[in-house]
Amino acid sequence: MADTALLLAGLGNPGPQYALNRHNAGFILADAIHAEYGFGPFRAKFEGLIAEGELAGRKVHLLKPQTYMNDSGRSVGAALKFFKLPLTALVVAHDEIDLAAGKLKVKTGGGDAGQNGLRSITAALGPDYRRVRIGIGHPGHKDRVTGHVLQNFSKDDLAWLKPMLDAMVEAAPLLAKDDDTGFMSKVALLLQPPPKEKKKDE
């Protein structure tokens, strides 16, 4: 598959008022990958912002839909069609309330678990694409979900978010190699606390 370009879409809502929302975890990851790997500048296309670069020698189109979360499928579908890519070449990074904060899971296919961006993409393209699920935790009651995802990451969240983003960025080339298990394993390894040094006997 590496001879086919990858479309890596990070989901979120456009505008500075949403920039640090939990719902914008996909945008935040896309920006971090963009900065680390020297992608070209973002430009407006496909009702989104798109930049081009490489991961592990594979061409990558990095997309941030600007349609608002609920219409992500319009932007992602337009880009996938324009580049003539199969659904298997799509990776979508998004926040996931059904995963504990700071947890990560990559999977292909499945339901949308109430994530409106995924619902929109699946309605446009079908379910068989890869998802990078970034756990933001559940507020405990469904009536509080909207408020939870549209709140900014808290100070406590930033304590796990920064190391997790750093680990995901470092492991990102494995996504381009279609090695989702390797990606998850590397992130987990990078997030392990360093071993405590044994005190020397006095």
Active site residues: 23
Q: Which residues pair with 6 in a beta bridge?
A: 60
How far is 153 from 164, CA to CA, in rounded Å? 13
DSSP 3-state percent helix, strand, coil across the chain (nearest 5): 45, 20, 35
**First vs last Cα of the chain: how many Å apart?**
58
Question: Alpha carbon of 177 to those of 3, 34, 56, 103, 196: distances in Å?
Answer: 10, 18, 7, 22, 34
